[in-house]
């Protein structure tokens, strides 16, 4: 009898406690048990869309909405800039990003492709009420390409001495112009741009570092390798690099010119005669006529798409990166090579933004420069923006002498000091730093 009374009082206390707890924590919430039909509806694709939500949908409400137009699944400097900028901004955790890709898709690695798609198919951004940013050539700043947005940014550049008239008009269509280098700032000022901000681009220090392992390719072990990386168009002045190399070396020298183009072989454009449509093979044929086939130094080509994860291993096989650009902005391969402690040769000029980090103490500069107006071969084969614009032109014989000098210095203490200076000069030009600076600027 006593036991039954105690059990009854204990049960009454527990019931009151449970009721109190329920009211304290769940007041106003009605509990409804789910029947099998409810569960089936929730696990179906249609039910999931109508009756569930994603955690990212909630988190996105507290982030800065950003609509980006950029190259994503594509090869080249702009595409790498576009991808890394979007990935870097996302990594800060401050941005909800929607991407409208300029070109899609090509054979980049599946993981990167899937990551790009996650931004392309992000529908949580109201693009008309977000900020909009173009990462691409100045042609994408035309009004017809700019959607409704809160504020518009253009992160762009040009390779000639100044912006041409069309580009100058397009620059006025954005609220703020982002300029990667001091040279780009000068171009913007001369074009009459009032709202601009200097904003560095950068390299991926996780991929391009001095401890990366070189790949054994084309049987080049034991040879001194001059590497050329980029598109084979006249602005890069690959023609002068080939001529300089063949002037400096012969078939008996233990050297190689390794030419890597992720785009594959492309002509410069048609000249007056079809037979002079420029290709790498056409240039080699002309060189052979001059120096003779038996006296031609060793040359190797990679003219197929290369995955970005493989590219650092190919670059590490370079004993020297050779550039001779008529005009550039940041020049991403130069930053990558310098962080990998690979010697760099380049043409010093007022047309190129890389002069902000290249100097005589950290690289090998060719300083004999003329400034010329773009001919038809350059602007027809490369970009209509270049018509009537001024570019730098170097002396290929000076380049030949510089290539010889670099081989003589290989392994010397002077070279080691130059490479140490190079690595130090580019330590702040990383994607991580670039993304954080850009994020702070956009969120304010």
pLDDT tens per residue, range 54-101: 444 444 557 999 999 998 877 778 888 899 999 999 999 999 999 998
Q: What is the domain partition of the chain in residue ranges?
A: 56-202+432-443, 224-428
In this structure, how many other beta carbons lie within 10 angstroms of the beta carbon of residue 267? Answer: 15
Phi-psi region of 283 (alpha: psi -120 to 50; beta: other; left: phi over 0): alpha
pLDDT at residue 284, as a whole number = 73
* Whether pLDDT at 30 is above 80: no
Report in angstroms the alpha-carbon separations of 68 from 98, 137, 208, 416, 427: 6, 14, 26, 41, 27
Q: How far apart are CA 324 and CA 228, in angstroms?
A: 10
Decide which of 28 and 80 is more confident.
80
Architecture of the domain defined by 224-428:
3-Layer(aba) Sandwich (3.40)
Instruction: Give the whole-number percent of the chain exceeding pLDDT 70.
Output: 79
Instruction: Render 181-211 in DSSP notation, one character per residue.
Output: SHHHHHHHHHTT--SEEE----B-TTTS-TT
Element (H, E) at 11: helix 2-26
Between residues 8 and 430, the one the model is more confident about: 430
List strands edge to edge, sheet with 255-260: 298-302, 255-260, 224-229, 320-322, 344-347, 364-366
Neighbours of 405 (CB within 10 A): 12
Contact yes or no for 136/102 (Cβ under 8 A): yes
Q: Strand, coil or helix: what is 66?
A: strand
Rounded average pLDDT over 379-388: 76
Q: Which of 318, 336, 296 is nearest to 217 (CA)?
A: 318
The predicted model gives 147-157 an average pLDDT of 95
Helix boundaries (H) for 355-395: 376-381
Kindly report, residue by residue over 315-341, the tens digit of the pLDDT: 999 999 999 999 999 999 999 999 999
- Quick check: helix, strand or coil at residue 136? coil
Q: Is 239 left (phi over 0), alpha (psi -120 to 50) or beta?
A: alpha
Q: What is the pLDDT of residue 153?
A: 97
pLDDT recorded at residue 113: 80
Identical fold between 56-202+432-443 and 224-428: yes
Sheet with 196-198, side-by-side order of all strands: 95-101, 64-70, 131-135, 152-155, 176-179, 196-198
* CA dist., res. 220 & res. 243, Å (int): 21
Q: Given this model, what pLDDT does residue 22 score?
A: 32
**pLDDT value at residue 294:** 79
Rounded CA-CA distance 316/318 in Å is 5
User: In this predicted structure, which of 31-35, 185-189, 397-401 has the lowest mean pLDDT?
Assistant: 31-35
Closest C-alpha among 120, 121, 111 to residue 72: 120
User: What is the structure's pLDDT at 15?
Assistant: 47
Report the mean per-residue pLDDT for the chain: 82
Residue 205: band (very low, low, confident or very high) from pLDDT cuts 50, 70, 90: very high
Question: Would residue 331 be called left, alpha or beta, if left means φ above 0 and alpha means ψ between -120 and 50 degrees?
Answer: left
Is the model more confident about 308 or about 194? 194
**How many other C-beta atoms lie within 10 A of the C-beta of residue 410?**
11
Q: What is the pLDDT of residue 347?
A: 97
Extract the tokens encoding 54: 């994603």
Q: Residue 40: what pLDDT? A: 47
Q: How far apart, in whole angstroms, are the C-alpha atoms of residue 237 and residue 290?
A: 19
pLDDT in tens, 230-281: 877 788 888 899 999 999 999 999 999 999 876 555 444 444 444 344 566 6
Q: Which fold has domain 56-202+432-443?
A: Rossmann fold (3.40.50)
Collapse the DSSP code of 13 into the 3-class scheme (helix H, G, I; strand E, B; otherwise coil) and give the result.
helix
HSE of 375, CA atoms in CB hemisphere, 13 A: 9
What percentage of the chain exceeds 90 in pLDDT?
A: 57
Q: Whole-structure pTM over 0.85, yes or no?
A: no
pLDDT per residue as tens digits for the range 271-317: 444 434 456 666 777 777 777 777 889 988 887 777 778 889 999 99
Q: Which of 260-269, 397-406, 410-419, 420-429 has the lowest mean pLDDT?
A: 260-269
- What are the tokens at 274? 């079809």
Q: Which of 25-39, 206-220, 358-372 has the highest mean pLDDT?
A: 358-372
CA 432 to chain centre: 13
Of 103-112, 247-256, 355-364, 402-411, the one with minimum mean pLDDT is 103-112
């Amino acid at each position: 009898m006593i036991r039954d009374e105690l059990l009854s009082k204990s049960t009454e206390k527990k019931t009151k406690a449970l009721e109190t707890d329920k009211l304290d924590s769940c007041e106003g919430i009605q509990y409804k048990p789910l029947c099998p039909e409810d569960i089936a509806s929730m696990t179906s694709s249609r039910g999931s869309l109508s009756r569930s939500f994603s955690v990212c949908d909630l988190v996105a409400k507290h982030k800065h909405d950003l609509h980006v137009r950029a190259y994503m699944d594509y090869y080249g400097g702009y595409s790498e800039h576009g991808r890394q900028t979007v990935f870097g901004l996302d990594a800060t955790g401050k941005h909800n990003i929607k991407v409208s890709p300029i070109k899609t898709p090509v054979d980049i690695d599946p993981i990167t492709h899937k990551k790009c798609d996650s931004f392309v198919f992000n529908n949580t951004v109201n693009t008309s009420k977000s900020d909009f940013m173009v990462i691409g050539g100045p042609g994408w700043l035309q009004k017809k390409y700019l959607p409704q947005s809160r504020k518009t940014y253009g992160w762009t550049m040009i390779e000639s001495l100044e912006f041409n008239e069309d580009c100058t008009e397009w620059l006025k269509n954005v609220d703020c112009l982002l300029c990667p280098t001091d040279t780009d700032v000068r171009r913007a000022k001369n074009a009459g741009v009032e709202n601009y901000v200097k904003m560095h681009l950068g390299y991926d220090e996780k991929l391009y570092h001095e401890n990366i392992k070189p790949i054994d390719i084309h049987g080049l072990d034991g040879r001194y390798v001059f590497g050329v990386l980029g598109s084979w168009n006249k602005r890069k002045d690959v023609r002068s690099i080939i001529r300089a190399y063949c002037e400096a070396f012969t078939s008996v020298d233990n050297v190689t010119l390794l030419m890597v183009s992720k785009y594959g072989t492309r002509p410069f454009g048609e000249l007056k005669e079809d037979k002079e449509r420029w290709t790498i093979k056409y240039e080699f044929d002309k060189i052979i006529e001059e120096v003779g086939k038996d006296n031609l130094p060793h040359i190797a080509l990679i003219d197929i798409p290369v995955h970005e994860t493989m590219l650092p291993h190919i670059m590490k096989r370079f004993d020297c990166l050779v550039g001779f650009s008529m005009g550039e902005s940041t020049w991403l391969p130069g930053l990558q090579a310098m962080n990998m402690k690979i010697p760099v040769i380049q043409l010093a000029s007022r047309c190129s933004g890389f002069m902000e980090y290249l100097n005589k103490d950290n690289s090998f500069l060719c300083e004999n420069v003329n400034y010329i107006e773009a001919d038809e071969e350059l602007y027809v084969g490369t970009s209509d923006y270049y018509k009537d614009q001024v570019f730098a032109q170097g002396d290929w014989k000076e380049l030949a002498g510089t290539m010889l000098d670099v081989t003589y210095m290989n392994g010397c203490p002077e070279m080691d000091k130059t490479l140490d200076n190079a690595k130090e000069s580019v330590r702040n030009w990383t994607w991580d730093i670039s993304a954080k600076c850009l994020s702070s600027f956009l969120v304010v």
